[in-house]
């Protein structure tokens, strides 16, 4: 009998093979809070409410943007799921939350079980490292929407925080030190410009070696998004942090003001941390002005932390690498570079 759905571009057998491949990977992230198994219509999670006095749920949804195009070009799919989890973990971490569970969505033109298996392996690795459950997801084969060999990837995270540990930024005051935690590279932002510079303007191929880089340029661009959860959460539990800003789209100029109370701005001391070579390369190749570069890229700082002067020594001692990059000043909710 003819398989009409397969002829139309949707392979149900490939879908079943995909589920079989990823089941054990996903189950490896499960904890006692997970009820049921992969394949149910919904994921069941028993909220550990008794561990909290006033639990607050924190949720976020995001993607990895056009970093996917670099992965397509290199046919390397094992890190982008990891990127996605870490990005989402950082987004709820800035409010003091620890992750509970994660769900992914993959929309793809032609379903290839090995590709999905590779993506999910990265998702699972990210979840395990962040003490999070990969509770479920959706893989949708949609010929005509996505080109063959391409797909979209998005994820939703749900976390929890004790109400009195919520980080709102309300306690931030002029004179507070501003610290920066280093990134590993572009993380998941600025790729539309980075790809244009590398692959259109400079006519590079992802496999090309570029001076000053150990890896081919494509591999350099695929460096994973770093999670700050395991280092920051103990400080959050001790109420040592006044504010956190995840430096993603919008860079320093758009993300730091999101955590500032009225009457406060931030003065950043440029050159107070080592800018990663990839950003120097991109900025020089396209003659990008500093003001624009610090709005597009993280420039080597993936998370900004604000604490009191009293707690500065304790906070700095918690990290193998951290930079004092500025301070809170009186003024509007703006970022100024010195």
Domain boundary assignment for the chain: 4-165, 177-337
- Encode pLDDT of 209-241 as tens digits: 998 899 999 999 999 999 999 999 999 999 999
Q: Where are the beta strands (DSSP E) in 142-296?
A: 151-162, 177-182, 243-246, 264-268
Judge contact between 304 and 256, C-beta under 8 A.
yes
CATH-assigned architecture of domain 4-165: 2-Layer Sandwich (3.30)
Mean pLDDT, residues 55-77? 97
Range in 2-16, 31-45, 101-115 the model is least confident about: 2-16
Judge contact between 138 and 105, C-beta under 8 A.
yes
Mean pLDDT, residues 104-118? 94
CATH-assigned architecture of domain 177-337: Alpha-Beta Complex (3.90)
Three-state secondary-structure class, residue 24: helix
Range in 109-113, 159-163, 333-337 the model is least confident about: 109-113
């Amino acid at each position: 009998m003819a398989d009409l759905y397969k002829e139309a571009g949707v392979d149900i057998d490939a879908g079943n093979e995909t589920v079989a491949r990823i089941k054990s990977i996903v189950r490896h992230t499960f904890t006692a809070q997970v009820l049921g198994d992969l394949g149910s219509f919904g994921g069941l999670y028993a909220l550990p409410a008794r561990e909290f006095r006033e639990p607050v749920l924190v949720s976020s949804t995001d993607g990895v943007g056009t970093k996917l195009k670099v992965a397509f070009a290199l046919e390397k799919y094992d890190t982008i799921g990891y990127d996605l989890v870490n990005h989402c973990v950082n987004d709820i971490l800035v409010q003091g939350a620890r992750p509970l569970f994660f769900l992914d969505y993959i929309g793809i033109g032609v379903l290839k079980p090995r590709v999905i298996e590779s993506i999910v392996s990265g998702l699972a690795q990210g979840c395990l490292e962040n003490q999070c459950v990969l509770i479920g997801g959706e893989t949708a084969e949609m010929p005509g929407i996505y080109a063959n060999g391409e797909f979209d990837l998005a994820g939703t995270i749900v976390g929890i925080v004790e109400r009195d540990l919520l980080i709102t930024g309300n306690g931030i005051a002029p004179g507070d030190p501003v610290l920066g935690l280093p990134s590993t590279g572009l993380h998941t932002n600025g790729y539309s410009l980075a790809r244009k510079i590398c692959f259109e303007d400079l006519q590079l191929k992802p496999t090309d070696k570029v001076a000053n880089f150990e890896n081919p340029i494509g591999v350099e661009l695929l460096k994973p998004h770093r999670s700050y959860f395991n280092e920051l959460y103990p400080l959050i539990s001790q109420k040592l942090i006044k504010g956190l800003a995840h430096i993603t789209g919008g860079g320093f100029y758009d993300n730091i003001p999101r955590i500032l109370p009225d009457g406060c701005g931030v003065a950043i001391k440029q050159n107070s941390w080592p800018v990663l070579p990839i950003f120097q390369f991109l900025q020089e190749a396209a003659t990008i002005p500093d003001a624009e570069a610090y709005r597009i890229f993280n420039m080597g700082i993936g998370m900004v932390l604000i604490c009191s002067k009293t707690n500065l020594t304790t906070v700095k001692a918690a990290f193998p690498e951290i930079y004092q990059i500025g301070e809170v000043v009186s003024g509007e909710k703006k970022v100024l570079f010195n």
